[in-house]
Structure 1
Amino acid sequence: MVDYYPPWGFYYRVEFSISDKKNDVRFQSVSGLSVEYDVEEYKEGGENRFTHKLPGRTKYADLVLKRGMLTDSEVMKWCLAAFRDREFRPATINVILMNEKSEPLRTWNIDHAIPKKWLVTDLNANDNAVVIETLELIYRSFSIL
């Protein structure tokens, strides 16, 4: 009998609908795949033992992607068009977790993503670190395929 082992979190790729370049799928880290409800409290008259808590709107966290800076990237052109020219073209993003055979285990399909923030690490002549760019994206929702 084989026991179940949870998947490793280091083998994944990030696919953008706006790019087919192979380097645009490589990211050092992905965070922000979370969802929660706002909660509305309702105090019922005459009931003093508890407050009713009702689910409200759904909230999705910002998607944060980090990678070594690329000098030729369709994703960066997409971000710069949004920041510089105010051209917001929503994109679909797939975050695909893979197994040891490079087969997809789980796919998060992120809908209607647009850039919110772009950040580059500090440049320092006394440090020999890779330049990391951070993309922060907002999106409507995600589904798990």
Structure 2
Amino acid sequence: MAKFTVNPARFDPYKNFKFRVSFGTGYIAGVSKVSALKRTTEMVEHREGGDPSSSHKSPGRTKYEAITMERGVTHDPEFELWANKVWHFGNAQAVAEQRTQEVSLKDFRRNLTIDVFNEAGQKVISYQVFRAWVSEFTAQADLDANANAILIQSIKIEHEGWQRDPSVTEPTEPLFDGAVV
């Protein structure tokens, strides 16, 4: 098991606003929100036949909740291209004519990396998400002529687990000397 080092100069917890997401093809532009990484292990309760007054608890099946990512709508089609690998409406007619398929079975799953950075821009934590695929794609949020907001698209990602990358260790924080360039 990897040993995590502790920076004795760091007293504050890391902030949640500096992060980047990679789908294995480089960082994805404009991701503004990533939901929490959460896993839940079911509890299995059992008792012994000779002890009717108490029960024992042990861990059961572990489930990983889906991850939702949001970003502002741009000309970058990365969310849509990945979502189309699960099912592509435009291919439905071609499938009927036996020319192509609706699902890309070869590469609809991807491994993801979520990197977290400190205020100085140093990578401090990295998570790897395994065998992920898009289960829900929102091409754009509601349109509202009376609103003053960014147009957001989102994907809901199902996956088979995640783990923290132990090779990313806590960096020594830089000292800002106040020099003017």
Same-fold status (TM-score > 0.5): yes
* Residue 11 (1) aligns with residue 18 (2): yes
**Larger gyration radius, structure 1 or structure 2:** 2
Instruction: Name the SS of the counterpart of 1:28 in structure 2.
Output: strand
* Residue 99 (1) aligns with residue 99 (2): no
For residues 113 and 38 of structure 1, the distance between their equivalents in structure 2, rounded to whole angstroms, comes to: 22
User: Identity percentage over the alignment?
Assistant: 25
Aligned pairs for 1:34-53 (under 5 A) are: 34-53=38-57
Instruction: Name the SS of the counterpart of 2:87 in structure 1.
Output: helix
CA contact (8 A) 1:15 1:25 kept: no
Letter in structure 1 aligned against 2:161: S
For residues 86 and 70 of structure 1, the distance between their equivalents in structure 2, rounded to whole angstroms, comes to: 25
Letter in structure 2 aligned against 1:87: S
Structure 1: 5+ residue stretches without partners:
none
Letter in structure 2 aligned against 1:5: D
Q: Which deviates further from its counterpart, 50-59 or 132-141?
A: 50-59
Instruction: Name the SS of the counterpart of 1:117 in structure 2.
Output: strand
Match of 1:116 among 135, 140, 143: 135
Cα 1:13–1:43 change in 2 (3 A) is same
Structure 2: 5+ residue stretches without partners:
1-7, 89-101, 166-181
More strand per residue: 1 or 2? 1
For residues 92 and 133 of structure 1, the distance between their equivalents in structure 2, rounded to whole angstroms, comes to: 21
Letter in structure 2 aligned against 1:115: V
Q: CA deviation at 1:29?
A: 1.0
For residues 110 and 31 of structure 2, the distance between their equivalents in structure 1, rounded to whole angstroms, comes to: 17
CA contact (8 A) 1:14 1:26 kept: no
Instruction: Name the SS of the counterpart of 1:105 in structure 2.
Output: strand
Instruction: Name the SS of the counterpart of 2:86 in structure 1.
Output: helix
Match of 2:154 among 118, 127, 134: 134
Q: CA deviation at 1:104?
A: 1.0
CA contact (8 A) 2:80 2:137 kept: no
TM-score (norm: length of structure 2)? 0.71
How many residue pairs are counted as aligned between the two chains? 142
- Deviations along 1:72-94, whole A, 9 cap, x unmatched? 22332111232313225211111
Letter in structure 1 aligned against 2:148: N
Aligned pairs for 1:69-80 (under 5 A) are: 69-80=73-84
Q: CA deviation at 1:25?
A: 4.0
What's 1:60 paired with? Answer: 64
Instruction: Name the SS of the counterpart of 1:77 in structure 2.
Output: helix
Q: CA deviation at 1:46?
A: 3.4
For residues 7 and 106 of structure 1, the distance between their equivalents in structure 2, rounded to whole angstroms, comes to: 10
Letter in structure 2 aligned against 1:141: G
